[in-house]
Amino acid sequence: MSPKAFIKYSSADMLTSGVLVINDAIPTGLGWIEVPYTNCCSQVGFPAMPASSLKKRGYIKYSKSGQVVAGSTIIRNKKPKNGYWQEVPLKRCC
């Protein structure tokens, strides 16, 4: 079984900074969403990622080899310039 990556949203449906785990199965508890383990040949897909009026955005980091970096979830105004970052919704929809 290949590893999977998960990010966590709070009970208010907002992205939790610093929480990205790599595991074989979804962690217990509410608010976990699976994200692609590698950035090769896939796009991070989420249901209804609307254009946000919020200035802040959520990002996860991928290594040079294309694997997600555990604990790399950040919330910032702009995408970091260094590294391979993929935007994820700051607010969970639906």
**Using CA atoms, how far apart are residues 80 and 69, in angstroms rounded to an integer?**
15
- The CA-based angle 84-85-87, given to 5 degrees, is 155
- Contacts (Cβ under 8 Å, ≥6 apart) of 91: 13, 14, 15, 52, 54
pLDDT at 93: 75
Paired tokens of 73: 């979830």
Question: What mean pLDDT is predicted for residues 54-70?
Answer: 89
Is the pTM higher than 0.85?
A: no
Measured in residues, the chain has a length of 94
**26: phi then psi, degrees, rounded to nearest 5:** -65, 135
pLDDT single digits (tens) 12-43: 999 999 999 999 999 999 999 998 888 765 55
Whether the CB-CB separation of 70 and 20 falls below 8 Å is answered with yes
